[in-house]
Amino acid sequence: MAKGSKMPRGEEEAAAEDHRVRTGAVRREATRRKLLSAAVEVFAQKGPDAASIDDFLAAAGVARGTFYNYFKTTSELLDAVTAELNDEVILAIEMCVAKIENPIERVWTGCLIFVDIAVMHPAWGAFITRTGIREAASGRLTNVYLPRDLAAARERGIAKFTNVRAAKDLLLGAIHQSIETVLAGVEPAEHSRAVMRLALSALGVLKSTIDRLERMPLPDIALPDGLQSLEAAADKIRA
């Protein structure tokens, strides 16, 4: 288009509409993030079950209608917050284990780090035990890294099972139940390793491999920002 010439009317309208759509999407996402951020503090203060919609409205400074534009119930909001934090935790774990060449070692290490974080930070553990393995609360990355490593372990003959989804569900169930058992004080923290031993054995991993994995120390990882916020809010309540 020559310098100084005007854009055709149809193109102008299309460009204006595109700008409105993009601006609206940014605004909606900002409001959603505001609700999720407020929800972290409210859930930390009142627990996953006792908070009301009015608590979230006050914390986020939004109208009731705005809340319902994003979430139908407090349970749906809890799932969204848990999914968000789950993805943060899983991404931090992936960054820690990505350099490990053996896929079943990545599975063992990643699962146990996840359990340890939940046990050492009960405010986060309460989210895990409350939402369980509901798909809406699991986060997007649950269906990325764990299935990838399970499939790689099967392809290399390190594990022997027929269905990756079934193997993933078995491990997720083991992880969540071991967290609940330890946080309830029924078993000590070491219980999670016993559960993981049985889970890997069920997936056809050799006992010698599991014995080697159990002797390995777990690496330290930095607590993701979202969990730091949750921890800080919980600490403020306790103080």
- End-to-end CA distance of the chain, in Å? 65
Choose the weakest-confidence range: 24-28, 201-205, 212-216.
Answer: 24-28
Structure tokens at 5: 């010439």
- State yes or no: pLDDT of 1 exceeds 60: no
pLDDT (0 to 100) of residue 154: 98
- 119-129 residue pLDDT tens: 998 888 888 88
Q: Report the C-alpha gap between 53 and 118 in whole angstroms.
A: 26
CA count, 13 A, side-chain hemisphere, 65: 0
pTM recorded for the entire structure: 0.83
pLDDT (0 to 100) of residue 48: 80
- State yes or no: pLDDT of 19 exceeds 50: no
Long-range contacts formed by 4-12: CB under 8 A, 24+ apart: none
- 144-182 residue pLDDT tens: 999 999 999 999 999 999 999 999 999 999 999 999 999
Q: Report the C-alpha gap between 154 and 222 in whole angstroms.
A: 30
Provide the mean pLDDT of the chain.
88
Q: Report the C-alpha gap between 109 and 32 in whole angstroms.
A: 33
Looking at residues 102-126, what average pLDDT do you find? 94
Query: In this prediction, what percent of the chain has a pLDDT beyond 90?
Result: 60
Q: Report the C-alpha gap between 46 and 234 in whole angstroms.
A: 10
Q: Report the C-alpha gap between 234 and 194 in whole angstroms.
A: 30
